[in-house]
Amino acid sequence: MPRRTDISSVLVIGSGPIVIGQAAEFDYSGTQACRVLRAEGLRVILVNSNPATIMTDPEMADATYVEPITPEVVEKIIAKERPDALLPTLGGQTALNTAIALFESGVLARYDVELIGADVDAIQAGENRERFKGVVAKVAREKGLNAESARSLICHTMDECLAAAAELGYPMVVRPSFTMGGAGSGFAHDETDLRRIAGSGLAASPTSEVLLEESILGWKEYELEVMRDRADNVVIICSIENLDPMGVHTGDSITVAPAMTLTDREYQNMRDVAIEVIREVGVDTGGCNIQFAIDPGSGRMIVIEMNPRVSRSSALASKATGFPIAKIAAKLAIGYTLDEIPNDITAETPASFEPSLDYVVVKVPRFAFEKFPGADGGLTTHMKSVGEAMAIGRNLTEALQKALRSLEQKGSAFSWAGEPGDVEALLESASRPHDGRLRDVQRALWAGATIEQVYAATSIDPWFLDQIAALNEIADDIRVSADALTRDKLLRAKRHGFSDAQIGEIRNLREDVVRELRHALDVRPVYLTVDTCAAEFAAQTPYLYSSYDEETEVPPGDRPKVIILGSGPNRIGQGVEFDYSCVHASFTLTEAGYETVMVNCNPETVSTDYDTSGRLYFEPLTLEDVLEVVHAEQQSGEVAGVIVQLGGQTPLGLAQKLKDAGVPVVGTSPESIHLAEERGAFGRVLHRAGLPAPKHGTATSYEEAREIAAEIGYPVLVRPSYVLGGRGMEIVYDDATLESYMEQQRQGDLLDHPVLVDRFLDEAIEIDVDALYDGTDLYLGGVMEHIEEAGIHSGDSACALPPITLGHDDVRRIREATVALAEGIGVRGLMNVQYALSAGVLYVLEANPRASRTVPFVSKATAVPLAKAAARVMLGTTIAELRAEGLLPATGDGGTLPLDAPIAVKEAVLPFDRFRTRDGAFVDTVLGPEMRSTGEVMGIDENFGTAYAKSQQAAYGSLPTKGRVFVSVANRDKRHMVFPVKRLADLGFEILATEGTAEVLHRNGVRAKIVRKHSAGTGPDGEPTIVRRVLDGDVDLIVNTPFGSPGQSGPRLDGYEIRTAAVLRGVPCVTTVQGLAAAVQGIEAVAGGQVGVRSLQEHAARLRGGA
């Protein structure tokens, strides 16, 4: 069946900001879909509030709406664009839920928009647990298959939950309906657990529905990726086995493809069930994933759930197999059948087949518990990881060890240093799933535990445990120091994934010494192709991975090659924004005639698509792995340069070592990078340029830090050098806190690099600048004014572009300072500078000679592709030439935007609702100098108020336009809060306040009702505290600025309770007075009337005159 001719325009809904459970994988899937649909000649209309994505690049769609993904806003876009069809299956749960809402409210019918990819009935049959159980039961009954659902009961109230518990018995699983990433689910071992978990689950579910089911904890867990076309051809793209058995969310599990411990009988039964389920559910065109659990003792198989859409697992499966699920799903949605779609990789065979793998793929999650002090590091059915790395090897051990080192976290790889530790303690620790459990398993086995003992403690399949045991045996073999490290010994270790660093650690040798020895013995990896077919057919796409195998498959090249180092697993502070820059570099350098070579290990990205770059190496971004890739590429042709500036801190950290190894690093030189990163050297740059910085010093001990603090005065900002995302950054007000901070750093082994101690500038405006420098000219990409004052990490604070309160003179000073810095450091390419404007003085906070997190935001807000321009500059093209070419505007830049330029507001999205302390309480939600946000959104409109309101709506849901506001602010903020609160009162809001705040308001003529503090408890006549009122849904907006030091009781703790309640109820919560002022402008804009929608292409026409 050829493509449908009755569809000529399609609306694609993206997934919005990166949050835990819904991340960059949907940028990958949405981007693929947009590219496919446009290539088919369809008009593509896209909505996604996340500016950091490739999919929201103006060239990916005909009309790109960076607008909040709410049914109301999408309806406006539909009314304006009148698409023929809506494709909701590639934008995660957000897109699916929005599409269902539009269907149910009749909007789709009214505008005659057809849902393609999956119809509402199929979506509901797949997602509604009761209906899905019916599907499974029917399939098992009618087809005679081994399949059932876990025994379970649906509950809508706590009473029903308690009744169900009596029937099912503890422990049991609590799952709310229609939430993503397993939000609100967990294991209840007793009634206290049940009340807590089911309580929040009932609140989190949009349908106030939770499911309680029998525990299948410890069972084997599997997943199949399934695709079906409208001729009813069904194929299984990939099987995935979780190394972590049932009980840990798949997103938090170590997973392996293909399944390792199933016989053909069990696998085919699972396959048959999957096929019958997708048919019965009615997903006609597209993909879905289905999860299974198997009782390791009896083989009883339970179908856990399905996602009737492209998911995180589909992204993983696509990268693991070379079968592009999202791309094929988009083609199926517009009418093609699988046999009509060619397999891109072989070019000669069709997509109606099932990939065969002759390698093993391992995915490992990356967590960020260190960002949330007090958060429980245990893993449950509630997803907590913020990113993942994938690795490919020719056996499990090679893939697993590559994946673990791809995480780039201290201690993420197995270590054989020192003694293994106490068997009992290790087994005890391994029995509770947590980040790093596999290292406990390895150490326990090393310490002498048997596979049976470890199995009893963990339920991890004995086959996997034996693989870990084999690694210990190899480590033992290397350790025998009487034996030389022979070629055979090294080769054997390398074939099981040991890094040079691991071998060096075992033999007490430096990593580079091991490497030299290895090279001398000619032990080097070869590169094999991910070809979908286990080498049965020749692959046309160079999608490569390393292995210590027989023969290399790197194709020869005739064009000069540029190697782009990606950013590795997503983490807080280094996410999809960096992938955006890498992908842009690849696109533009391909156009400029280079063969681009991407190196990355993050399966959730566009950069790891096999058709993004000329060649793709799915490899860890460690020095060893990168050096081998460079070597392999040099063997096959000329390498013009390696780009380290676009992938964030990961590649930047390799710059000097690569250069030392003779690798041609292009762009800003490693020496220049050092000038910006090393405090002393940077101070000299500033001094030469005559630029002030806040007083500062560096310390490696508490004594040194205290001396500096005494000299420059409290408060001080302390942080380790060489970090991204403000990791470990704090504002310190006294000696005692400083001492405990330094002690923490020492214990965390973090004093390799000194701690920076800076004077903290109170009441300053923070400014972020992204600029491009070629050695002669500076192109000021954008000047962003933070809405929160300095002290909040720039990644967590909202900002506006163009700056809303800075004058021409300020921008001129910023430009001059930026030129001086770029010149002083020796930047070639992008640079990001953070300034603070305090009492008329422009201080330089820091300068980073690399692409920053804000590059995609600036590019979209100003309609200039900054990352592309940067890549060209790094390879020698001048800014003047880029202006002449049209890549950059002929005149002017981001510092000279016209007065009628749209205002873009970036807002951060924070994951506080994901993290609990061990006793079940939320972690505090206050912003500070350590970055905690996982993603961002952009609001863009003609004025600041509307743009800000859109950003809030996109990030947190709409700002209220009426109702009750609760205000409680720190003393220092009281003066600034009067005017905006008065404005809210004028707009008709009822004002609630704590006593002190109410008093100030009263004196200023604002009537505020006094509410009891949390610490005061319920009043004598049962008057509720503010926390109770928030929990009861009585409050529509909270303004609460923190005061006091963390961890103390009193006002600080009161604030914590209030903000926690806000998170729980999803009430907007403003924690700075600057944020309050912005919120009031936003509320006024929304209350004032119609807020329209406008595409980036329309904005660009104004900004760049139709260019």
Q: Would you count residue 439 as binding another protein (CB under 8 A)?
A: no
Q: Would you count residue 959 as binding another protein (CB under 8 A)?
A: no
Reduce the secondary structure of 389-419 to three states and give it as a string: EEEEECCHHHHHHHHHHHCCCCCCCCCCCCC
- Minimum CB separation of residue 450 from another protein in Å reads 12
Q: Would you count residue 100 as binding another protein (CB under 8 A)?
A: no
- Minimum CB separation of residue 206 from another protein in Å reads 38
Q: Would you count residue 453 as binding another protein (CB under 8 A)?
A: no
Asked if residues 242 and 260 have their Cβ atoms less than 8 Å apart, the reply is no
Q: Which is nearer to another protein, 135 or 294 (CB)?
A: 294
**Dist CA 888 CA 880 (whole Å):** 9
Residue 923 in tokens: 């972690």
471-474 contacts at long range (C-beta below 8 A, 24 or more positions apart) = 471/397, 471/401, 471/414, 471/442, 471/496, 471/497, 471/498, 472/416, 472/442, 472/445, 472/446, 474/498
Task: Tell which positions 545-564 bind another protein, by CB under 8 A.
Answer: 548-551
Q: Which is nearer to another protein, 617 or 1056 (CB)?
A: 617
Contacts of 914 (CB under 8 A, 6+ apart): 20, 183, 382, 383, 384
Helices 866-874 and 576-591: crossing angle in degrees, nearest 10, is 60
- Minimum CB separation of residue 349 from another protein in Å reads 4
Q: Would you count residue 271 as binding another protein (CB under 8 A)?
A: yes
Q: Which is nearer to another protein, 346 or 848 (CB)?
A: 346
Residue 791 in tokens: 């002290």
* DSSP characters over 447-481: TT--HHHHHHHH---HHHHHHHHHHHHHHHHHH-T
**Dist CA 299 CA 147 (whole Å):** 10
Residue 185 in tokens: 């689910």
Residues in the chain: 1107
- Minimum CB separation of residue 395 from another protein in Å reads 5
Q: Would you count residue 190 as binding another protein (CB under 8 A)?
A: no
Task: Tell which positions 282-311 bind another protein, by CB under 8 A.
Answer: 296-299
Q: What are 598's strand-pairing partners?
A: 564, 616
Asked if residues 426 and 442 have their Cβ atoms less than 8 Å apart, the reply is no
Q: Would you count residue 146 as binding another protein (CB under 8 A)?
A: no
Q: Which is nearer to another protein, 208 or 453 (CB)?
A: 453
Q: Would you count residue 483 as binding another protein (CB under 8 A)?
A: no
- Minimum CB separation of residue 265 from another protein in Å reads 6
Q: Would you count residue 262 as binding another protein (CB under 8 A)?
A: yes
Asked if residues 160 and 317 have their Cβ atoms less than 8 Å apart, the reply is no
Fill in the per-residue mask, 492 to 521: x = in contact with another protein (CB under 8 A), - = not in contact: ---x--------------------------
- Minimum CB separation of residue 1067 from another protein in Å reads 50
Q: What are 288's strand-pairing partners?
A: 226
Candidate segments 24-32, 130-138, 526-534, 864-872, binder of another protein by CB under 8 A: 526-534
**For the CA atoms of 156, 157, 162, 166, what is the dihedral angle to 10 degrees?**
-30
**Dist CA 252 CA 666 (whole Å):** 37
Q: Which is nearer to another protein, 124 or 261 (CB)?
A: 261
Q: Which is nearer to another protein, 460 or 658 (CB)?
A: 460
Fill in the per-residue mask, 227 to 246: x = in contact with another protein (CB under 8 A), - = not in contact: ----xxx-xx--x-------
The candidate with the shortest Cα–Cα distance to 343, out of 536, 526, 528, 555, is 536
Q: Which is nearer to another protein, 551 or 752 (CB)?
A: 551
Q: Which is nearer to another protein, 258 or 647 (CB)?
A: 258
Sheet harboring 935-941: ordered strands across? 841-848, 829-838, 765-773, 778-786, 799-801, 903-909, 935-941
Q: Would you count residue 473 as binding another protein (CB under 8 A)?
A: yes
Among 2, 159, 263, 809, binds another protein (CB under 8 A): 263
Q: Pairing mode, if any, of strands 152-155 and 210-214? A: antiparallel
Q: Which is nearer to another protein, 396 or 1035 (CB)?
A: 396
Number of residues in contact with another protein, rule: CB under 8 A?
60
**Dist CA 854 CA 733 (whole Å):** 30
Among 40, 272, 707, 881, binds another protein (CB under 8 A): 272
Candidate segments 170-178, 460-468, 618-626, 764-772, binder of another protein by CB under 8 A: 460-468
- Minimum CB separation of residue 428 from another protein in Å reads 24
**Dist CA 42 CA 208 (whole Å):** 39
Q: Would you count residue 191 as binding another protein (CB under 8 A)?
A: no
Exposed/middle/buried for residue 1007 (C-beta within 10 Å: 0-12, 13-18, 19+): exposed
The candidate with the shortest Cα–Cα distance to 549, out of 562, 566, 535, 565, is 535
Q: Would you count residue 988 as binding another protein (CB under 8 A)?
A: no
Task: Tell which positions 199-228 bind another protein, by CB under 8 A.
Answer: none
Q: Would you count residue 249 as binding another protein (CB under 8 A)?
A: no
Q: Which is nearer to another protein, 3 or 696 (CB)?
A: 3
Candidate segments 190-198, 527-535, 961-969, 1006-1014, binder of another protein by CB under 8 A: 527-535
Asked if residues 256 and 361 have their Cβ atoms less than 8 Å apart, the reply is yes
Candidate segments 167-175, 253-261, 740-748, 1035-1043, binder of another protein by CB under 8 A: 253-261
Among 463, 710, 886, 1017, binds another protein (CB under 8 A): 463
Give me the sign of the Cα torsion angle 255, 256, 257, 263: negative
Contacts of 671 (CB under 8 A, 6+ apart): 656, 826
Contacts of 357 (CB under 8 A, 6+ apart): 257, 258, 320, 321, 534
The candidate with the shortest Cα–Cα distance to 950, out of 72, 34, 102, is 72
Q: Would you count residue 891 as binding another protein (CB under 8 A)?
A: no
- Minimum CB separation of residue 653 from another protein in Å reads 33
- Residue at token pair 């924690």: 1071
Q: Which is nearer to another protein, 339 or 1098 (CB)?
A: 339
C-alpha 349: how far from chain center: 35
Residue 398 in tokens: 């090679």
> In 3-state terms, the chain is what percent helix, strand and coil (to 5)?
40, 20, 40
- Minimum CB separation of residue 390 from another protein in Å reads 17
Number of H helices, E strands in the chain: 38, 39
**Dist CA 965 CA 990 (whole Å):** 6
- Residue at token pair 């081998």: 628
- Minimum CB separation of residue 396 from another protein in Å reads 7
Q: Would you count residue 826 as binding another protein (CB under 8 A)?
A: no
Candidate segments 168-176, 390-398, 834-842, 1043-1051, binder of another protein by CB under 8 A: 390-398
- Minimum CB separation of residue 481 from another protein in Å reads 19
Fill in the per-residue mask, 336 to 375: x = in contact with another protein (CB under 8 A), - = not in contact: -xxx--------xxx-xxxxxxxxx---------------
Q: Would you count residue 462 as binding another protein (CB under 8 A)?
A: yes
Q: Which is nearer to another protein, 528 or 870 (CB)?
A: 528
Q: Which is nearer to another protein, 60 or 526 (CB)?
A: 526
Candidate segments 412-420, 461-469, 751-759, 794-802, binder of another protein by CB under 8 A: 461-469
Asked if residues 905 and 951 have their Cβ atoms less than 8 Å apart, the reply is yes
- Minimum CB separation of residue 268 from another protein in Å reads 6
Residue 705 identity: A
Task: Tell which positions 528-547 bind another protein, by CB under 8 A.
Answer: 528, 533-538
The candidate with the shortest Cα–Cα distance to 210, out of 191, 189, 192, 195, is 195
Q: Would you count residue 1023 as binding another protein (CB under 8 A)?
A: no
Q: Would you count residue 877 as binding another protein (CB under 8 A)?
A: no
Which parts of this chain interact with another protein (CB under 8 A)? 231-233, 235-236, 239, 258-265, 267-268, 271-272, 296-299, 337-339, 348-350, 352-360, 394-396, 451, 461-463, 466, 470, 473, 477, 495, 528, 533-538, 548-551
